[in-house]
Amino acid sequence: MKWIWGMLAATVLAALVFLTWESGQKSPGSGYLYDMPNSAAEAAYCLAAMERIREITHGQREPQLEQFVDEQLSFWRPRSVGQISQGRAALAADSAKPGVNEGAHLHVAIQDCGIRAVSFYGADFPSMAGG
């Protein structure tokens, strides 16, 4: 009787492994933020988002926000070489989709980019330290 349960457990485990593998094969994502094709394009998207935030918030006299934007711009600019126009175009296309609120999309984008910079690239942004 134990061997029946063992065979059943092994079959279930094999089925789960196969289904997980199969779903990974069908995954359309590139692994980069906003489905960008490579790391430079991802960086260019993040740079474009930060440039747009700079346009919107510049002159509001929020020192921590301005420091955060400066740090992000400095971080993403060298990583986006050769892909800046692609990043700007992708951000513009994403922001212009029907039903998309540009401000909300930018808010999510700068969060995603900041988390990516810190968790994946090991960036250290003093403005995010709090205080």
The whole-angstrom separation of Cα 106 and Cα 112 is 10
82 domain residue, yes or no: yes
For residue 96, being part of any structural domain is answered with yes
Structural domain contains residue 17? no
Would you say residue 45 has pLDDT above 60?
Answer: yes
Specify if 26 maps to a domain: no
Distance in angstroms (rounded) separating the CA atoms of residues 77 and 43: 7
**CB contact set of 91 (below 8 Å; sequence gap of 6+):** 45, 48, 49, 52, 109
Number of domains present in the structure of the chain: 1
Q: Of 12-21, 54-63, 64-73, give the lowest mean pLDDT range.
A: 12-21
Note the pLDDT of residue 38.
93
In a domain, 4, yes or no: no
Residues spanned by the domain of 63: 31-129
Q: What is the pLDDT of residue 26?
A: 47
